[in-house]
């Protein structure tokens, strides 16, 4: 289960706020870098599990889904995608 943390509030220009407010409200910040396997830490596994949950929920309701995976260089974005690819063998992204 992914624990939702409070999104830090930023003052954004009105144009940006109008475009992205609904996105920022659903943002989940993961910051637990505890290693759980060689080359994988806890926040990468939590991100993959959270994305899998969102995908399964969207399939039930036949809704479209857009997911953004953002992070700094070396944050583990590629490792998260590899975990998803392993869980979704034969699935096209």
Residue by residue, pLDDT tens for the chain (93 residues) are 556 556 556 666 777 777 777 777 777 778 888 899 888 999 899 988 988 888 888 877 777 777 888 777 888 888 888 888 888 776 665
| 91 contact partners, CB below 8 Å, separation of at least 6 | none
Q: What is the predicted pLDDT for the residue at 17?
A: 73
Q: What angle do CA 74, 38, 92 make, to 5 degrees?
A: 70
Q: What is the predicted pLDDT for the residue at 52?
A: 87
Please tell me the pTM assigned to this model: 0.65
- Coil, strand or helix at 41: strand
């Amino acid at each position: 289960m992914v624990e939702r943390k409070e999104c830090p509030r930023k003052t954004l220009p009105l144009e940006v706020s109008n475009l992205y407010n609904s996105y920022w409200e659903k943002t989940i910040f993961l910051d637990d870098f505890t290693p759980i396997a060689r080359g994988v830490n806890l926040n990468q596994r939590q991100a993959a599990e959270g994305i899998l949950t969102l995908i399964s929920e969207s399939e039930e309701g036949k809704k479209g889904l857009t997911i953004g995976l953002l992070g700094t260089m070396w944050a583990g974005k590629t490792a998260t995608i590899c975990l998803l690819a392993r869980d979704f063998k034969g699935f096209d992204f």
